[in-house]
Amino acid sequence: MSLQPSDVEKIAHLARLAVSEQDTPAYVRNLSNIIDLVGQMNAVDTTHVTPMAHPLDMAARLRPDAVTEINQRERFQAIAPEVDAGVYLVPKVIE
């Protein structure tokens, strides 16, 4: 199955990746090859197989409800691109 440039544009938008027009053909080609590779899966009938989401056959372990974290805002925001008065800044969000 071959992807079209429009597919790549759609995927790139969903993944929030800027892809230039110039790079698009290479992505179309490479992604199509990869999708062809994984398409080999279709040769096997898996009707009665239970999906395996995880290698470990274990159940969730729960933690007790206790506050164990302290305020580390200064440390965390020291590595942030843009902060002001304790909040992270981004271009205006429109709801």
Partner 1 sequence: MEWETVIGLEVHAQLATQSKIFSGAATAYGASPNTQACAVDLGLPGVLPVLNAEAVRMAVKFGLAIGATIAPRSVFARKNYFYPDLPKGYQISQYELPVVAKGSIEIELEDGRVKTIGITRAHLEEDAGKSLHEDFHGKSGIDLNRAGTPLLEIVSEPDMRSAKEAVAYMKKIHSLVRYLEICDGNMQEGSFRCDANVSVRPKGREKFGTRAELKNINSFRFVEKAINFEVERQIELLESGGSVVQETRLYDADKGETRPMRSKEEANDYRYFPDPDLLPLEIEGAFIAQVKTTLPELPDQKKQRFVTDYALTPYEAGVLTASRELAGFYEAVVEAAQGEAKLAANWVTGDLLGALNKAGLDILASPVSPQALGGLLLRIKDNTISGKIAKQVFDAMWHGEGDADTVIQAKGLRQVTDSGAIEKVVDEVIARSPQQLEQYRAGKEALFGYFVGQVMKASEGKANPAQVNALLKEKLK
Partner 2 sequence: MHTKTIAELSHALHKREISSVELTRTFIERIKRHNGALNAYVTVTEEQALAQARAADARLKKGEGGPLTGIPLAQKDIFCTQGVKTTCGSKMLDNFIAPYDATTVERFNHAGAVMLGKTNMDEFAMGSSNETSFYGPVKNPWDLSAVPGGSSGGSAAAVAARLAPAATSTDTGGSIRQPAALCGITGIKPTYGRVSRYGMIAFASSLDQGGPMARTAEDCALLLQAMAGFDARDSTSADRPVPSYSAALNDSIKGLKIGLPKEYFGAGLDKKMAQLIEAAIKEYEKLGATVQEISLPNTHLAVPVYYVIAPAECSSNLSRFDGVRFGYRCKAPKDLEDLYKRSRGEGFGAEVKRRIMVGTYVLSAGYYDAYYLKAQKLRRLISDDFKQAFSEVDVIMGPTAPTAAFNLGEKTDDPVTMYLSDIYTIAVNLAGLPAMSIPAGFIGQRPAGLQIIGNYFDEARLLNVAHQYQKVTDWHSRVPVGFE
Contact footprint for partner 1 (CB under 8 A): 14, 16, 53-54, 56, 58-69, 71-73, 76-77, 84-95
Q: Is 38 exposed, middle or buried (0-12, 13-18, 19+ CB in 10 A)?
A: exposed
Residue list 26-45, contact with partner 2 (CB under 8 A):
27, 30-31, 33-35, 37-42, 44
- Residue 93 near partner 2 by CB under 8 A: yes
15 vs 8: CA distance, rounded Å: 10
- Residue 60 near partner 2 by CB under 8 A: yes
User: Measured from the CB atom, is 46 or 67 closer to partner 2?
Assistant: 46
Residue 95 interacting entry, from partner 1, partner 2, none, C-beta within 5 to 8 Å by type:
partner 1
58 vs 60: CA distance, rounded Å: 7
53 vs 50: CA distance, rounded Å: 9
